[in-house]
Amino acid sequence: MSKQKSGPSAKAALSGCKPKRAKGSQRRAFSKQMRVVGLLSRPHGVTIAAIMRSTGWQQHSVRGFLAGVVRKKLGLKLTSEKGDGPRVYRIVSGTGKATIAPSAS
């Protein structure tokens, strides 16, 4: 007779790894990503320095997050303005990943 496995796989149990969550699982309420998107959603926008203070990230990490996550992954319209002071970034409202309509040829 053979034993039946119960619970996580034997390999995961031996390595001490936790099983991965399903894709639809609940996310953290106050993640750094949500914090940055909240700062960018303000009407007056936010500077890279303010995002660095809020997250503890370095400047190049903030710029990478803005390009890779905010613009590409989330599909949000990010604008930047250079006035007298430092550059200010903000998310323009009414944006998000748009569905592509089939082209009529």
As a whole number of angstroms, the distance between CA 75 and CA 21 comes to 24
Torsion of CA 41, 45, 46, 48, to 10 degrees: 100
pLDDT surpasses 70 at 2: no
Q: What is the pLDDT of residue 98?
A: 42
pLDDT surpasses 90 at 90: yes
Question: Do 86 and 49 form a contact (C-beta atoms < 8 A)?
Answer: yes
pTM for this prediction = 0.62
Q: Which domains does the chain have, with CATH numbers?
A: 29-91 (1.10.10.10)
Give φ, ψ of 86 to 5 degrees. -70, 165
> What is the pLDDT averaged over residues 60-82?
94
Question: pLDDT tier at 7 (50, 70, 90 boundaries)?
Answer: low
Q: Which of 1-5, 22-26, 47-51 is the most confident on average?
A: 47-51
Question: Directed axis angle between helix 32-40 and helix 48-55, to 10°?
Answer: 150
